[in-house]
Structure 1
Amino acid sequence: MNKSPKRVVICLGRSCRKYNSQKVLAAFKQNQDLLAEIELDTVKCLGQCGNGPMVSIEPDGVWYSQVRPKEVPLVIEQHLIGQSPVREMLYPKFHSKK
């Protein structure tokens, strides 16, 4: 059984760039040795302007909003490696805080 690889999608749209999404991307790239099986991708817009930087984890359907570069190691360790989303960082529009 072949599972779809995880994919980290980082928005580099104008609004997200205003909130330093390039630094978030750089933080993921700095930890790429931990992400051997993970695809790192960027898009021009994830359609959630004003809530960025936005990061989406596929195929999990998990969205993180207002991601700061210093939070990237937590996403890597807890979500990508540990398979447990970082609840306090979840985008409330798509995920309840329960």
Structure 2
Amino acid sequence: MAQTQPQEQPQKQPQEQPQERCVMVCQHTSCQRNGSAEVLKQFQNQNIPGVTITASGCMGQCSTGPTVRVTPDEIWYYRVLPPDIPQIVQQHLIEGEPVQNKLHPRIHQRISY
């Protein structure tokens, strides 16, 4: 009678929990002069599962504010205005695709040949 080998059970991998996103909206003086308080308010009025909206201090991008940074993606948006928010929410925060025309050019450099 042939002996059967015990079958190896596949090792279960721990399920990776998706990391919550955080949208930080600069509220430093120069960004506020360009409307960042309204940008923050508009983001806070959105109901986005898995996303925390918070005010931040200066992010060092004063000449291109209001600045919005999304972590853990490390996506930086520049000159964000209230009309930009629905596209950022839908395209990036829900669908996962950053909004190319609002990417901060100092942070997200594009190289053309």
TM-score range, shorter chain: over 0.9
Output the amino acid matched with 1:37: G
5+ residue gaps in structure 1? none
Q: Deviating runs (4+, > 6 A) in structure 1? A: none
Q: Quick check: which one's helix share is greater?
A: 1
User: What is the RMSD of the two structures over their aligned residues, measured on CA atoms?
Assistant: 1.0
- In structure 2, the partner of 1:48 is 61
Query: Which structure is larger by alpha-carbon Rg, 1 or 2?
Result: 2
- In structure 1, the partner of 2:81 is 68
5+ residue gaps in structure 2? 1-15
How many residue pairs end up in the alignment? Answer: 96
How far off its partner does 1:97 sit? Answer: 3.8
Q: Distance in 2 between the 1:2 and 1:30 partners? A: 26
* Identity score, percent: 32
Q: Distance in 1 between the 2:32 and 2:21 partners? A: 23
Q: Does the Cα contact within 8 Å between 1:56 and 1:62 map onto a contact in 2?
A: yes
For normalisation by structure 2, the TM-score amounts to 0.81
Kindly indicate whether structure 1 or structure 2 has the higher relative contact order, using CA contacts under 8 Å at least 6 residues apart.
1
Q: Does the Cα contact within 8 Å between 1:87 and 1:97 map onto a contact in 2?
A: no
